Chain A
Amino acid sequence: MTDPIIRLSGIDKFYGDFQALYDVNAEIRTGEFFSLLGPSGCGKTTLLRTIAGFEDVSAGKVEIAGQSMENVPANRRPTNMVFQSYAIFPHMTVAENVAYGLKARKMPKDKIATEVATALKQVGLEGYGDRASHAMSGGQRQRVALARALVLKPKVLLLDEPLSALDKKMREQMQSELRHLQRAVGITFILVTHDQEEALTMSDRIAVMFEGRIGQLASPQDLYRRPVNRKVAEFIGVMNFLDVSLSAGTAGTFECEIAGLGKAIIPAEQAPGGVDASVTAGVRPEMLTILSGENARSEREASGIVEDVYYYGDMTYYDVKLDGVDHPVTISMRNTAGRAVLSRQDRARVGWGAESVLLLK
């Protein structure tokens, strides 16, 4: 197979005067689980549909397996799609749905039957072939849609928010099943989702999109630990923002004074997007600690007042107002044996380290 399987170069998309995509560039690797993540209206579904061939690009190029997709309609592209509504043909049985694409390819009947049976087994619907498709539950329809696409052995499987219509339990089950299925068939999956948790747990790499642009394309870990700007950091997980004033540091470091925390020397790699006048400090809730007891020590210490306590059993989340800062920061603590849970209005000692602070534009 060719690598990358999909190359998007300089894609613009206009609907009349409205620009939905701005100069999108990305390479998707063969066999990876790739996610397009972003809030609604960010252009992620539009981008998926340009890959599928349902939308033309206004400028730029889509290449799949080294072939330009210019003037190649959706029915001749090596991609298949699982739709948000699943789009199961209601007037056909489950088996007829799965056989649909094979019939279009004029495959002999007996061969279709075995392929359909294999595909249904793959998605855990063995023996459901004769069922009326409209009588299936949401999760089952989703499996039919998967089988219907996978039976054609596409180079790339496109999934448009496939889990958004399922309830929480079903969704979590399908997340792990999709992951396993993807590893088993070895096909490149591109998933569109607005659920950052879903994207983080399932993907090899994620492109975070805002307002028609890719904000960052990285692995889930890099995205979480090294977001390139404030927007990405806010969208992925929880991030506390604190004002910061920079003074000139030595080469490769920034010397800064962080509101509520104090002075620190931050290495340049903790400012992945560079710095300018608008820069703020970002700290994840789990990077701050509530120090309790005389012996608890940390590299650096700050102090504040507990404003609110959210007890989750295994975890406790605190809203703490650091001295000299107006808005509270969120701190998460594991409830390990012997650790006391603070109450509202308690004075808290907050431990932190320079390595846990990011500088974000």
Chain B
Amino acid sequence: MKYFHLIWSALFRRKARTIFTLISIVAAFLLFGLLNSVRVAFTSGSNSLAGNERLVVASRFSIMTGLPESLKSRIAAIPGVQRVGHENWFGGVYQEPKNFVFSFAVDEDYLGTNPDILLTPQQREAFAQTQDGALIGEALAARYHWKVGQKIPLQSQIFPRKNGDKTWPFTIVGIYQTAKDAPNGIDQMFFLHWKYFDEANLYSQHEVGWYVVKLADAKKADKVAHAIDALSANSDHETKTQTANAFNASFAKQVGNIGLIVEAIMAAVFFTLILLTGNTMAQAVRERIPELAVLKTIGFSNRSVLALVLAESILLLLLGGVIGVAIASALAPGLAKGSGGMIQLPPIGASSWIEGIVLMVVIGILVGALPALRGMRLKIVDALAGR
């Protein structure tokens, strides 16, 4: 630490060059910050604890095929099942098609299966009491400035009511909060009563979209899943049971191999960055050879010269990288808002920061290694003589 001042002044010996290099590093890590959370969300992100404790039971044939309501009591009877709820996709939009609302018709038990949705007893009670009641997430409420007690007309893109009208009136009875580490998007949802939906819609078939099962023990997930699928084997409504994590991951994969695309972009960005900063560091050390020789003359060991140069390049990367990721975290919410919800960027979490900092240090060592070795191997006499 006592050499910090030395490293700092070496870094800013040529202000323009260092600042230009810093801006390039900032740009690279800005991209890293924006893209890495997307990559995590599409690849390994769905490994939450809550998602392993829950099973999703959907039709084996396709996600758009419904399941009979009668399955519920049979699933509930399976040992290891704590609670069963079900959901239907409602496909709601508010006022115009671009204002898409993630809306689901759920039964009373569903809310108990999702630990990410935090409800007060009063909210539960109000929802149970109101036939056309709706529970909405905080972010959704903020987006349209909806308040408790307000009447909201929501159009379903799929389901008309019995009178053929596709506009459904709802009364907002509660704005729920979400658990601290809930997945992105949970705070954007709109829940309505399945019973109301089932009775009032034109194609009422007593069908549910999919079941959600809360397990008593996450370790028994496989066994319970097999038992649930066995209930309907060889019937006309065979089911496929997965953990909520696996279910979400298969959804994400349908959009495309986003993880691979993002990784390819990041590889291109960092390859360029290594070359660029490597060049800067090489220049910086080349210019300073006589100075390094002086350092050695006054008693700095080879090792400490190596460490000084390495520290300088790591500091350069850390400085630019931290600024870049910080800009990304400031920018991400704005981007999502600016695109009208078209682009949803997950917030930049601790894991992105840790990965980013590891990357900064690794790249810093990589680009600093050659110049540092050069500094270490300097022969004082030659260097001072300018040979």
A and B: partners?
no
Binding site for A on B (CB under 8 A): none
